[in-house]
Amino acid sequence: MPTKHTKVFEKIATEEYLKYVGYDISDIEHPDPPDSIITLKNGKTHWIEVSSIYRKSEFAKRLNSDTVEKSYPIEYLGTQNDEQKCFINGIIFRIETKDTKSNYKKFTHKYGKGVLVLYIDDPLAAHETIDNIINIKNYNSIKLNNFHSVFFYVRPTYIIMGKKEFLKKGIFKLI
């Protein structure tokens, strides 16, 4: 069951994706799953799933619990290569896991392939990490079944740490 924290960021990531693609929307539903079903003014329907990514599982548990105090680990994820490789492999695993979930098949059958929007929920992630996530070439080897595209949303708190392009837009296409 998603927490209030999770639902807020799912909504923000969905809104940012919709701004990025410039859809002219007539209706939006939030059935969960998927996180959003969008009906365009031209009558076409699209669906969106949003998923958070974390650099450490303990951090995810801490943020997604309604009973645990929300706090961030002090350690900084900067340019440590092993930690970043592990984190990026985790992102690839998350994409593949989300894409193979059987509960999306009915939406794929009804509306066509959907969009997966990933967002990083970690204010201590370094801009090098964000750059590595966006620029990694391994995404091209992923064969998607339920999604036609995967996007990466960077919250504004990270944008100030990144390069100038981040100031223009906070969402990037990975696949």
List the beta strands (DSSP E) in the chain: 25-29, 36-40, 45-53, 114-120, 147-153, 171-173
What local confidence, expressed as pLDDT, does residue 138 receive?
A: 65
User: What tens-digit pLDDT sequence spans the chain (175 residues)?
Assistant: 567 767 787 888 888 889 888 888 888 898 888 999 999 999 999 999 998 887 666 656 665 565 545 444 444 444 456 666 767 777 888 888 899 999 999 999 999 999 999 887 665 566 666 677 777 666 777 889 999 999 988 766 544 444 444 433 577 778 7
What local confidence, expressed as pLDDT, does residue 106 receive?
A: 94
pTM, to two decimals: 0.78
What local confidence, expressed as pLDDT, does residue 55 receive?
A: 66
Rounded distance between C-alpha atoms, residue 37 and residue 27, angstroms: 8
What local confidence, expressed as pLDDT, does residue 105 receive?
A: 93
